[in-house]
Structure 1
Amino acid sequence: MIVMIKGNVGYPITLDPTVWIFDDRKVELENAFTEKEEEETSSFIFHKPPVNRSVSKMEGEEYLKNSYVIPLHDFLNNAEPKTDAQEVEFIKSSGENETVSLEDAKNGYLLFSSEGKPLFEDGPVHFYDKDGSNKDNPVKYIKEIHVH
């Protein structure tokens, strides 16, 4: 259930989507593509996530029934794409890789939880464009993210 970011980057990194449920940068999928939510998420895009706080029982119950995405921006920036990097290729376990511009990837979201459960069958993550244009057909089966 891990995803690697590698390729034309300064620092290849390993992502563990199973811990993002405790990350304050997460956004409910149904709210991810609304104007209000974009404003809210942009306010903490550059902060380190507070993940050490305790989770209330009510929050825990919410986590078990909602679907969540997390902005890809911070993870790509932490990998430090080189100055000539232009694209991101999503390496899929299905073998049919998909490529988007680096800018579109930085503005997109990764779905990591569907109805409170990890994406075992077609995950571990799905990619959604920032504007939700691929909401009905996200990039699925992503096992690695290669920066080119």
Structure 2
Amino acid sequence: MIVPITGKVTYPITLDPTVWIFDDRKIEFEKAFESEASHSEESDELKRVSERWDREVSQLSKPPVNRSIKKFEREKMLKSSYVIPLDDFLNNAEIEDEATSAILVTKEGDITIPISDLYNSYFLFSKEGKPLHADGPVHLYYKDGSNRENPIKHIMAVRFQ
């Protein structure tokens, strides 16, 4: 269930999709392809809720622990599908300047895509709260949603050439 990033990179890295469920960078699959306007509305609402929470907590000496929120989040994680953007992983690997393309190593064969397309992609790593054992470990979706109905599946490695 690991996905190595190798080839023309300064730092070859190994990705473990099974731990991304705890990563703050994950995005719910349904929300990943929404327009930027809806994302800004959500962030505005989140900011308002956060400010209200900060006010209420600052007024209490010992704020109560709200176990129902934790339970709700846990249940949501066990039922939702999640993607993660690839930008940070690719930046950490430091793709060399002479690299011209990315090769997605899959069970069906290698697929070559432009590096810019990889930067503008997500890896689906969880479907309905479960790892992608049957056709994983990850699927590739373009951020514009152009391959939403037909993602690249069975990705076992990413190699730069």
Query: Would you call these one fold, judging by a TM-score over 0.5?
Result: yes
The equivalent residue for 2:76 is: 62
CA RMSD between the two structures: 1.8
| Alignment partner of 1:119 is 2:132 | yes
The alpha-carbon distance between structure 1 residues 107 and 123, as it changes in their structure 2 partners (threshold 3 A), is same
| Alignment partner of 1:84 is 2:66 | no
- Deviation of residue 86 (structure 1)? 2.1
Amino acid at match of 1:116: G
The equivalent residue for 1:29 is: 29
SS at 1:65's partner residue?
A: coil
SS at 1:135's partner residue?
A: coil
- Deviation of residue 4 (structure 1)? 0.2
Structure of higher CA gyration radius: 2
Percent identity over the alignment is 54
- Deviation of residue 137 (structure 1)? 0.5
Aligned length: 134
Q: Which has the higher helix share?
A: 2
The equivalent residue for 1:110 is: 123
Query: Structure 2 stretches of 5 or more lacking a match?
Result: 44-68
Describe how 1:90-101 pairs up with structure 2 within 5 A.
Answer: 90-94=104-108, 96-101=109-114
- Deviation of residue 29 (structure 1)? 0.7
The equivalent residue for 1:13 is: 13
Q: Which of these residues, 110, 131, 143, is aligned with residue 144 of structure 2?
A: 131
- Deviation of residue 132 (structure 1)? 0.6
The equivalent residue for 1:50 is: none
| Alignment partner of 1:74 is 2:88 | yes
For normalisation by structure 1, the TM-score amounts to: 0.85
Distance 1:142 1:27 in 2: 19
For normalisation by structure 2, the TM-score amounts to: 0.78
Amino acid at match of 1:81: I
Moved more, 30-39 or 62-71: 30-39
Distance 1:39 1:116 in 2: 23
Distance 1:69 1:120 in 2: 15
